[in-house]
Structure 1
Amino acid sequence: MDVHNVEMVMSAVSPSQYPEDGRPEFALVGRSNVGKSSLTNTLINRKNFARTSGQPGKTQTLNFYAVEDTLYFVDVPGYGYAKVSKKKREEFGQMIETYITSRKQLRGVISLVDARHKPSEEDIMMYQWLDYYNIPVLLVATKSDKIACGKLNQSESVIKKAVEFNPENSDFCFFSSVNKSGKDTVWDWIESKMTEY
């Protein structure tokens, strides 16, 4: 998709605040600082539209970005926030679970992991939880430009084995915001999920 028009339309913490126009939605999930803002900015051809926070856990709402008046990207609070209280983490978890399990407009989830490392316990739990609910997942391994080409297959194997990757309901790609590799693959996946409904 060639993107010219993007706007952040709302932040929500409960279903009563979600958009009501019925457009398809795609949620982005991942650990704080895994590169969600960089992926979003690359997909929408902007440099600083989605802000990268220096403080993990700063995003505390579901942020809805309208893209080309056609679909929404939904930025979900990053997990792995060390400085957020247990009570706050539980609130985030409830908010995310409510959205992901009940939102009919949700077409799929883009789940980000760091290509350089084995997925964290939270990464694995998030993937397996999405798979349990039969939600289409695109598992995106970010920062792939930091890995030698010859090591990419090994990285993919480690990630898929750790999360117990289910090819029937999931797809996988590498992504780099530096050289933009993977951008077209992510858009192809999004567009394929939009046409399935």
Structure 2
Amino acid sequence: MAINLQKAEFILSAASPKDFLHDGLPQVAFAGRSNVGKSSVINRLLNRKNFARVGAAPGKTIHINYFKIDGAFYLVDLPGYGYAKVSKSERDRWGKLMESYFAHPELMTLGVMIVDSRHKPTADDCTMAQWFKDTGCPLVVVANKLDKLKKSEIEPNLQTIRDTLELDEETAVIPFSAEKGTGREDLLSAILSGAGLK
């Protein structure tokens, strides 16, 4: 089934669980630390410059944003975690919102978790990976900022990500550069397979 990624529309920002969509369409949930380039990855995936807002200050996604892609599935942009300079009460609110979303594993068809390929995943990343694993839905890990690595660093860094997040062999770790477009086809393929659209 050919999906027209140009046909992407913003549907809604869910500020509380009552806003979550339950319409049966596959939901591909994107998560990542606030400064990991999640919006840039989404923009690169859709080949749209400013589709997902790229904030100058990390942590601008404060709700759960739903984008409908070609009427076939939702790309669900979860709030960034672990960095944003916001009040503790605001962070707690996001945390609760995320927990509520993950408490409905039937909503999620596929998890896409974005990490920084240059660094060992943080404790927050490990927690996030565990949340995805606990839902039982398939997970794809995107190692972004690949263009900042030397060739010799790529394999060891990908292995560190796999080991730190305790990923099984089935879980793909996709080397990715939002800047250069490296890994876009692999990610697209993983999303369409995971969402049952291939």
TM-score if structure 1 supplies the norm length?
0.92
How many corresponding residue pairs? Answer: 196
Counterpart check, 1:190 vs 2:191: yes
What is the identity, as a one-letter code, of the residue corresponding to 1:194? A
Partner of 1:129: 131
Of 104-113 and 79-88, more deviation after overlay is shown by: 79-88
Matches of 2:172 and 2:68, distance apart in 1: 24
Tell me, what secondary structure is at the counterpart of 1:195?
coil
Tell me, what secondary structure is at the counterpart of 1:140?
strand
Partner of 1:175: 176
Partner of 1:108: 110
Structure 2: gaps spanning 5 or more residues: none
What is the identity, as a one-letter code, of the residue corresponding to 2:176? F
Question: Which residue, 6, 14, 25 being the options, matches 2:27?
Answer: 25
Alignment of 1:7-22 (within 5 A): 7-22=9-24
Of 86-95 and 116-125, more deviation after overlay is shown by: 86-95
Counterpart check, 1:52 vs 2:49: no
Of 78-87 and 30-39, more deviation after overlay is shown by: 78-87
Q: Is the 8 A contact 1:28 1:73 kept in 2?
A: yes
Partner of 1:87: 89
TM-score if structure 2 supplies the norm length?
0.91
Identity of aligned residues (%): 37
Partner of 2:142: 140
What is the identity, as a one-letter code, of the residue corresponding to 2:188? W
What is the identity, as a one-letter code, of the residue corresponding to 1:40? I
CA RMSD of aligned residues (A): 1.8
CA 1:131 to 1:20, structure 2 compared with 1: closer, same or farther past 3 Å?
closer
Structure 1: gaps spanning 5 or more residues: none
Partner of 2:160: 158
Partner of 2:43: 41
Matches of 1:182 and 1:99, distance apart in 2: 28
